[in-house]
């Protein structure tokens, strides 16, 4: 059937801080490599065309749609997925905020939405409403109408600032 | 109210969802699992002449299933048994399943599908409601009508003959809408002769799938097992179609001798093939006095059911009953029909027919107001139902409602009067190319199944107490994002007087949970939630009757009592069964009486901007005031309203299905436009909570109500902004442009 | 996914020289692939031709933004995010920053590149109208050397362009258009929603005003013709015109309506695209009057 028959190649990258090598097709979507080869199924597929953001992950510190990244382009990359966000049993502040403020309903957009929020708050620790809307516009949610997601972002931003303030105060006390 | 009911306790499965640990169907891998794909027709209607397989494909590596391989009956068991699992003889819509393929390597499947050709002799097809009603081409019965309902109250013809009434007429249409749950549909099946059938998948109604699989395989109930996996949204879209996918996956597994088969739709297939909201057409003819008192309503309501009957009759029923709205009117007639076309079957979607008929009515109310020169809020105020009034089906409203107070609250929260004045001044300045407007809708939505539906369903819920006093709610009602797990746990924890953490909800699995009915119709909290409460109370009685539990007890004492009971009797599991509230009398023959045990009530206001350079309408503020009874979980309730409003905003101004010969041509997320975080306005939600005596702690349904009002409110606001009437939803920029150009050429003709 | 992943070969050379050599040695065999935000969508839909692809995404020689007194030079593989966030681009070439900001959403902007957007040659792309309006130049590179061509005229027909076999887009040079020198910028993307939208009409215009008249103007349209459209008739109607000329509005409207060649497709109608093009051209004139 196929005019070109391609073999698998070895692709090495780090995922959530661990170096991994997979044997895969060069055109294989990073999404499939994560989900099928590495069994990291927290990264979801909603559309396969970069529209919904359910497959969001960080590649070299930048939020991307993993359905649009061929495996070969992930060679040597530093990849962070939803599975790597919490530190052990302790949830990341954004994850906790999505529980507390009702930002997760059916949950299928949630991993991507949480990571998009992490990206947003890295860039804008105190985001304006317009920055929140723009920052999350690539992650579609059909359940919440986005209001509780906006609340979750605000809750998370406050929690992160409070933690940083506490840490700064702690440092001040020590010096 | 108890310790948990009324509190925004955190979602039960919240941690699993935010960490990505929740397993949706596509996340599950079984040993030896292979992958399936569906081969579909590509013409809207025709006779199948044959199927050809191109040479050059190693077909012996594939599992191939056609209608001939079906061990039982080739029919999807629903209301009318007209839809086959696999078309055998006749094609009735452009995306109809004909043949199934499976292969261990999922990458070769889509390519192989291109090498299967279904030869079809085309037959004339029908796509428009009016064409179907004319019945020049007959697709179903002798008139293309799947179902007809007639509602009659008073003497409509005599009322229209009165000389003190003004008669206002209008026609309103709505387009198809895609549910667009973000998780596409999918199933995994293990099935083999002698072993029975088990399916796991994304679905709303485990027992619907169960009912459909039994005749397909000619198996007794106990040999069919349906398990719901974590489900990424449904909105009605996963009510009926999952039966077909489950059947397909199971047929492939059956033919492959019990090898597990995974069948996951990609987005394009999910959009093209699965059910959508029924397109509708509503004609209104209304007699009203000059000071705005409704005297008679004559409504002709029609739905495009698509190629098969599926749930159209029930969708039509709800649309019929809501067609005259929450208004007092002594004379009413509704003629409602669902017709056959060659679109893929339309089906359940949040609101279930009510958003369609309410759209027509609430646009029409604005037209009446304009005709009479009465403000739209005032026209509604003069006609709103109050306690003791009767609906169009002659149901006496016994709830203590005050819809007028809700309307006043909405007007005040929206700043209606001030903004209307400010916008009028703004719009008068031609330099302002962005025009602003406000619109409203008042409406109701019946909770639970219509009429005697709940009695026929006879839902059952169980609660089982296990070691350590941990209690598990056993119900087939599914968590699809709306909060079933959390709400049931809250209700049960309060009824059991146990900590929330000690209660959990079992994964819906027909091998374990009783049939608590489908997860539809805003019934889960009100109807099934009440059964959870009853079951929990009866579990306490059981322990007390056994002399193991006192009047007051701690969690530890409860645990000790459960352990003692289990030691003595084995299992501790109790069930509760639906009992209809008194006074519910429904005459199915004449469509008269108490259609619903309770209604949610609402007054919604939309504020919009219309850019006259691009003709795009944007909703800039939204106020939603409603009464859904007691709030079990205020955070979840508000989330339901906000999500419903956003979905309805999509239906009003973004979401159009582009039909080409019955096929959805824009079947990609990039071309079917749902709102992003940057497109929704602030959605401001307010509750007026009047407890409903027979709901759990006074709760009524919430899921569907917020879908009903926004679209007409938004189109009313668009008319307020630009002075041009749009009577079809969605109002896309192209539609607004055409309406504005037509209006301006008309006014030029008048002045010229 | 509708494509068979085993039918696509992709290689990813580490240097530009390596890539150019491969393109020269096996002419017509390799299709370049940048950030993948267009090609992977076709791949998913089963519409990407099977064959051999050359991933240039990692080539450092083609990345980065350099600024001199007259122009900003943008490496072909610079992402939309880098363009969106660049201070000089925001100040002097705001339409380019806005086009980048309105392409897809954040995750697309992190991956999509300006050169990829040009080479994909979609008539609905968001940056090309701005590049037309700014009078950009392209530097093209091959094993045989480099050449520079004006962007206006680079696209020769639907998905056709003046790119020779073995040639890659190296960089895009855009002359600076500071407001302090009298430049007025007017960009409007008309999509189906605020973000994650493909243009139905895109309009970009940049004019220099002097003494109540239009000294210089360039206008580009997207989504209304088989390629990005150079609005020559509109430019002619405006160039040298006095802003207080009472007949100018009708001339602008007629020119815009006349030169767009819009079609009906899955996203909009020809009537809509034509009418909105006219409206935006007139709105541009109003903006000039307000700013002049």
Q: Could you tell me the two tokens for B194?
A: 């002698």
B668 and C190 in contact by Cβ < 8 A? no
What is the spatial order of strands in the sheet that B434-447 belongs to?
A: B434-447, B598-611, B616-627, B683-687
Say whether pLDDT at B568 is over 60.
yes
Round to whole Å and give the CA distance between C200 and C124: 7
Nearest CB partner across the interface for B677, out of A95, A111, A136: A136
Could you tell me if B708 and B734 lie in one domain? yes
Q: Which segments of chain C are extended strands (E)?
A: 8-11, 30-33, 51-55, 65-67, 71-75, 137-142, 145-150, 155-157, 160-161, 168-175, 183-190, 201-210, 213-222, 229-230
Residues of B in contact with C196 (CB under 8 A): 670, 676
For residue A39, the distance in angstroms to the closest alpha carbon of chain C comes to: 18
Section B566-585 average pLDDT: 93
Nearest CB partner across the interface for B182, out of A81, A104, A142: A142
Task: Kindly state whether residue B176 falls inside one of the protein's structural domains.
Answer: no
Q: Could you tell me the two tokens for A134?
A: 């723009």
Measured CA distances, A87 to A125, B19, B96, B353 (Å): 20, 11, 48, 47
Round to whole Å and give the CA distance between B286 and B297: 5
- How does pLDDT run across A80-104, given as a tens digit for each residue? 999 999 999 999 999 999 999 999 9
Could you tell me if B735 and B630 lie in one domain? yes
* Chains contacting chain B through 3 or more C-beta pairs under 8 A: A, C
Round to whole Å and give the CA distance between B725 and B517: 42
Nearest CB partner across the interface for A65, out of C9, C51, C107: C107
3-state helix, strand, coil in chain B (%, to 5): 35, 25, 40
Closest CA to B624 of B407, B466, B351, B468: B407
Round to whole Å and give the CA distance between A19 and B165: 80
Question: In chain C, which residue's Cα lies nearest the Cα of A62?
Answer: C110
Could you tell me if B260 and B357 lie in one domain? no
Say whether pLDDT at A172 is over 60.
no
Task: Kindly state whether residue B585 falls inside one of the protein's structural domains.
Answer: no
Could you tell me if B96 and B221 lie in one domain? yes
User: Homologous superfamily of C183-291 in CATH?
Assistant: CO dehydrogenase flavoprotein, C-terminal domain (3.30.390.50)
In B564-603, which positions are buried (b, 16+ CB within 10 angstroms) versus exposed (e)?
A: bbeeeeeebebbbebeeeeebebeeeebbbbbbbbbbbbb
C139 touches chain A (CB under 8 A): no
Could you tell me if B468 and B445 lie in one domain? no
Dihedrals φ, ψ of B188, to 5°?
A: -120, 135
Domain layout of chain A by residue ranges: 9-84, 93-174
- How does pLDDT run across B110-148, given as a tens digit for each residue? 999 999 999 999 999 999 999 999 999 999 999 999 999
Instruction: Give the count of Cβ contacts less than 8 A between chain A and C.
Output: 120
User: pLDDT-derived band of residue B1, with 50, 70 and 90 as boundaries?
Assistant: low
Q: Running DSSP on this structure, what letter comes out for residue C161?
A: E
Could you tell me if B194 and B319 lie in one domain? no
Question: In chain A, which residue's Cα lies nearest the Cα of B58?
Answer: A1
Q: Which CATH class is domain C5-55?
A: alpha beta
Round to whole Å and give the CA distance between B503 and B495: 11
Residues of C in contact with B733 (CB under 8 A): 190, 200, 268, 272
- Radius of gyration of chain A from its Cα atoms, rounded to whole angstroms: 18
Closest CA to C269 of C207, C224, C203: C224
DSSP track, B684-748: EEEE-----TTSGGGB---SSHHHHSHHHHHHHHHHHHHS----EES--HHHHHHHHHHHHHHHH
Could you tell me if B190 and B259 lie in one domain? yes
Q: Could you tell me the two tokens for C266?
A: 């899955």
What is the length of chain B?
752
Say whether pLDDT at A169 is over 90.
no
What is the number of domains present in chain B?
3
C111 and A68 in contact by Cβ < 8 A? yes
Residue A113's SS3 state is helix
> How high does pLDDT run on average in chain B?
97
- How does pLDDT run across C3-37, given as a tens digit for each residue? 999 999 999 999 999 999 999 999 999 999 999 99
Task: Kindly state whether residue B163 falls inside one of the protein's structural domains.
Answer: no
* pLDDT, position A4: 64
Residue B527's CATH number: 3.30.365.10
Round to whole Å and give the CA distance between C189 and C252: 19
Cα C59 to chain center, whole Å? 21
Cα A149 to chain center, whole Å? 15
Domain layout of chain C by residue ranges: 5-55, 60-175, 183-291
Could you tell me if B202 and B226 lie in one domain? yes
* pLDDT, position B751: 65
Say whether pLDDT at A40 is over 70.
yes
Round to whole Å and give the CA distance between B437 and B548: 65
Residue by residue, what is the 3-state secondary structure of B113-168?
HCCEEEEEEECCCCCCHHHHHHCCCCCCCCCCEEEEEEEEECCHHHHHHCCCEEEE
Determine contact, residues B481/A106, Cβ cutoff 8 Å.
yes
* pLDDT, position A6: 81
* pLDDT, position B77: 80
User: pLDDT-derived band of residue A3, with 50, 70 and 90 as boundaries?
Assistant: low
* pLDDT, position A1: 43
Could you tell me if B415 and B316 lie in one domain? yes
For residue C274, the distance in angstroms to the closest alpha carbon of chain B comes to: 11
Round to whole Å and give the CA distance between B232 and B253: 25
Pick among A106, A131, A159 to test the B interface (most B CBs inside 10 A): A106
Could you tell me if B289 and B205 lie in one domain? no
Question: In chain B, which residue's Cα lies nearest the Cα of C282?
Answer: B613
Say whether pLDDT at C184 is over 80.
yes
Say whether pLDDT at B427 is over 90.
yes
Using a pLDDT cut of 70, give the percent of chain B over it.
99
Q: Which segments of B364-451 are extended strands (E)?
A: 434-447
Question: In chain C, which residue's Cα lies nearest the Cα of B733?
Answer: C272
- How does pLDDT run across B17-49, given as a tens digit for each residue? 999 999 999 999 999 999 999 999 999 999 999
Could you tell me if B328 and B251 lie in one domain? no
CATH of A9-84, picked from 3.10.20.30, 3.40.50.1820, 3.30.1220.10, 3.20.20.70, is: 3.10.20.30
Decide if domain C60-175 falls under CATH 3.30.465.10.
yes
Interface of B with A in 147-186 (CB under 8 A): 179-184
Section B400-412 average pLDDT: 96
- How does pLDDT run across B249-294, given as a tens digit for each residue? 999 999 999 999 999 999 999 999 999 999 999 999 999 999 999 9
Determine contact, residues B417/B411, Cβ cutoff 8 Å.
yes
Could you tell me if B444 and B489 lie in one domain? no
Q: Which of A76-85, A163-172, B210-219 has the lowest mean pLDDT?
A: A163-172
Q: How many helices (H) and strands (E) does chain A have?
A: 5, 5
Q: Could you tell me the two tokens for B136?
A: 């020049």
Tokens 């008194």 sit on residue: B582
- Across the strands, what pairs with B485? none
Section B692-719 average pLDDT: 96
Domain of B428, in residue numbers: 280-450+590-748
Say whether pLDDT at B424 is over 70.
yes
- How does pLDDT run across C120-167, given as a tens digit for each residue? 999 999 999 999 999 999 999 999 999 999 999 999 999 999 999 999
Strands A78-80 and A9-15: parallel
Q: Which fold has domain A93-174?
A: DNA polymerase; domain 1 (1.10.150)
In B398-417, which positions are buried (b, 16+ CB within 10 angstroms) versus exposed (e)?
A: ebebbbbebbbbbbebbebe
Task: Kindly state whether residue B347 falls inside one of the protein's structural domains.
Answer: yes
Question: In chain C, which residue's Cα lies nearest the Cα of A77?
Answer: C58
C54 Cβ partners below 8 Å, 6+ apart?
C10, C11, C12, C13, C19, C22, C23, C30, C31, C32, C33
């Amino acid at each position: 059937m196929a005019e070109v028959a391609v073999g698998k190649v070895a692709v090495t990258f780090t995922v959530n801080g661990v170096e991994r090598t997979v044997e895969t097709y060069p055109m294989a979507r990073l999404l499939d490599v994560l989900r099928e080869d590495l069994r990291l199924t927290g990264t979801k597929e909603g559309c396969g065309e970069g529209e919904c953001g359910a497959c969001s992950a960080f590649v070299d510190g930048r939020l991307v749609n993993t359905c649009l990244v061929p495996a070969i382009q992930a060679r040597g990359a530093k990849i962070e997925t939803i599975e790597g966000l919490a530190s052990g049993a302790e949830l990341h502040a954004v994850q906790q905020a999505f529980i507390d403020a009702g930002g997760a309903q059916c949950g299928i957009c949630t991993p991507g939405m949480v990571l998009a929020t992490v990206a947003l708050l890295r860039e804008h620790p105190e985001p304006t409403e317009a920055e929140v809307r723009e920052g999350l516009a690539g992650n579609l949610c059909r359940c919440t109408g986005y209001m509780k997601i906006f609340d979750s972002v605000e809750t998370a931003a406050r929690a992160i600032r409070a933690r940083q303030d506490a840490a700064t105060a702690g440092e001040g006390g020590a010096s | 109210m108890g310790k948990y009911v009324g509190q925004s306790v955190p979602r039960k499965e919240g941690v699993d969802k935010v960490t990505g640990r929740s397993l949706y169907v596509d996340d599950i891998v079984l040993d030896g699992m292979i992958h399936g794909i569906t081969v579909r027709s590509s013409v809207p209607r025709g006779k199948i002449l044959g199927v050809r397989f191109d040479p050059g494909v190693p077909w012996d590596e594939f599992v191939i299933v056609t209608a001939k391989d079906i061990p039982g009956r080739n029919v999807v068991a629903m209301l009318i048994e007209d839809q086959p699992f696999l078309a055998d003889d006749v094609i009735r819509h452009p995306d109809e399943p004909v043949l199934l393929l499976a292969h261990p390597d999922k990458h070769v499947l889509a390519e192989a599908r291109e090498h299967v050709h279904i030869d079809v002799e085309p037959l004339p097809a029908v796509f428009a409601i009016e064409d179907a009603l004319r019945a020049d081409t007959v697709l179903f019965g002798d008139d293309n009508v799947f179902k007809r309902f007639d509602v009659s109250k008073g003497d409509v013809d005599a009322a229209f003959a009165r000389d003190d009434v003004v008669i206002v007429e209008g026609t309103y249409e709505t387009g198809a809408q895609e549910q667009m749950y973000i998780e596409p549909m999918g199933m995994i099946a293990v099935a083999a002769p002698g072993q029975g059938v088990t399916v796991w998948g994304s679905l709303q109604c485990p027992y619907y799938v169960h009912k459909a699989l039994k005749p397909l395989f000619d198996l007794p109930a106990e040999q069919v097992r349906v398990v719901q996996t974590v489900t990424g949204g449904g909105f009605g879209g996963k009510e009926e179609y999952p039966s077909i996918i489950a059947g397909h996956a199971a047929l492939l597994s059956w033919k492959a001798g019990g090898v597990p088969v995974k069948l996951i739709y990609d987005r394009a297939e999910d959009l093209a093939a699965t059910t959508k909201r029924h397109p509708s057409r509503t004609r209104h003819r209304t007699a009203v006095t000059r000071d705005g008192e409704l005297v008679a309503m004559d409504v002709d309501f029609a739905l495009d059911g698509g190629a098969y009957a599926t749930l159209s009759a029930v969708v039509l029923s709800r649309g019929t009953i809501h067609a005259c709205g929450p208004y007092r009117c002594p004379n009413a007639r509704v003629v409602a029909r669902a017709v056959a076309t060659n679109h893929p079957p339309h089906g359940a979607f949040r609101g279930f027919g009510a958003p369609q008929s309410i759209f027509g009515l609430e646009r029409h109310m604005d037209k009446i107001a304009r005709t009479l020169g009465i403000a739209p809020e005032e026209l509604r105020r003069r006609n709103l139902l109050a306690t003791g009034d009767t609906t169009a089906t002659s149901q006496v409203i016994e709830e203590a409602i005050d819809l007028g107070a809700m309307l006043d609250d909405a007007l005040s929260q929206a700043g209606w009067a001030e903004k209307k004045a400010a916008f009028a001044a703004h719009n008068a300045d031609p330099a302002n190319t962005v025009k602003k407007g406000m619109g409203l809708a008042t409406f109701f939505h019946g909770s639970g199944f219509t009429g005697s539906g709940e009695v026929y369903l006879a839902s059952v819920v169980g609660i089982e107490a296990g070691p350590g006093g941990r209690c598990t709610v056993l119900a087939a009602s599914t968590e699809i994002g709306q909060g079933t797990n959390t709400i049931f746990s809250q209700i049960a924890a309060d009824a059991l007087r146990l900590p929330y953490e000690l209660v959990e909800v079992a994964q819906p699995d027909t091998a374990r949970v009783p049939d608590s009915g489908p997860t539809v119709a805003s019934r889960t909290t009100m109807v099934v939630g009440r059964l959870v409460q009853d079951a929990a109370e009866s579990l306490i009685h059981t322990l007390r009757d056994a002399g193991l539990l006192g009047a007051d007890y701690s969690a530890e004492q409860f645990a000790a009592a459960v352990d003692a009971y289990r030691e003595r009797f084995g299992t501790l599991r109790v069930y509760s069964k639906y009992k209809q509230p008194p006074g519910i009398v429904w005459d199915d023959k004449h469509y008269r009486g108490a259609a619903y045990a309770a209604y949610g009530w609402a007054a919604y206001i939309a504020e919009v901007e219309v850019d006259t350079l691009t003709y795009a309408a944007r909703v800039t503020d939204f106020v939603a005031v409603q009464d859904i009874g007691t709030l079990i979980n205020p955070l979840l309730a508000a989330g339901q309203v906000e999500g419903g409003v956003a979905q309805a905003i999509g239906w009003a101004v973004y979401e159009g299905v582009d039909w080409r010969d019955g096929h959805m041509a824009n079947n990609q997320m990039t071309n079917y436009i749902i709102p992003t975080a940057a497109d929704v306005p602030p959605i401001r939600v307010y509750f007026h909570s009047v407890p409903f005596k027979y709901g759990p702690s006074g709760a009524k349904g919430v899921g569907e109500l917020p879908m009903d009002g926004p679209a007409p409110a938004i189109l009313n606001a668009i008319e307020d902004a630009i002075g041009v009437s749009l009577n079809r939803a969605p109002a896309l920029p192209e539609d607004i442009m055409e309406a504005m150009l037509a209006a301006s050429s008309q006014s030029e003709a008048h002045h010229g | 996914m509708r494509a068979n992943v085993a039918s696509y070969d992709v290689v990813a050379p580490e240097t530009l020289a390596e890539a150019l050599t491969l393109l020269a040695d096996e002419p017509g065999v390799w299709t370049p692939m940048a950030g993948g935000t267009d090609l992977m969508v076709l791949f998913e839909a089963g519409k990407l031709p099977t064959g051999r692809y050359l991933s240039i995404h990692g080539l450092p020689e083609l990345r980065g933004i350099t600024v001199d007194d007259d122009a900003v030079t943008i490496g072909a593989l610079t992402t939309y995010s880098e363009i969106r966030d660049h201070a000089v681009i925001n100040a002097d070439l705001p339409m380019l920053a806005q086009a980048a900001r309105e392409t897809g959403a954040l995750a697309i902007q992190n991956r999509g590149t300006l050169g990829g957007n040009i080479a994909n040659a979609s008539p609905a792309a968001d940056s090309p109208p701005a590049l037309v309006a700014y009078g950009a130049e392209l530097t093209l590179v091959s094993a045989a050397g480099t050449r520079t061509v004006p962007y206006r005229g680079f696209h020769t027909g639907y998905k056709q362009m003046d790119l020779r076999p073995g040639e890659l887009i190296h960089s895009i040079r855009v002359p600076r258009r500071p407001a302090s020198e009298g430049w007025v910028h007017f960009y409007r993307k008309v999509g189906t929603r605020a973000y994650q939208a493909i243009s139905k009409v895109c309009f970009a215009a940049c004019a220099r005003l002097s003494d109540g008249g239009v000294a210089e103007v360039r206008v580009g349209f997207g989504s209304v013709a088989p390629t990005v459209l150079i609005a020559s008739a509109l430019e002619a109607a405006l160039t040298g015109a006095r802003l207080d000329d009472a007949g100018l509005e009708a001339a602008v409207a007629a020119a815009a309506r006349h030169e767009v060649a819009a079609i009906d497709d899955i996203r909009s109608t020809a009537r809509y695209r034509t009418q909105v093009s006219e409206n935006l051209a007139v709105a541009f004139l109003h903006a000039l009057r307000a700013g002049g």
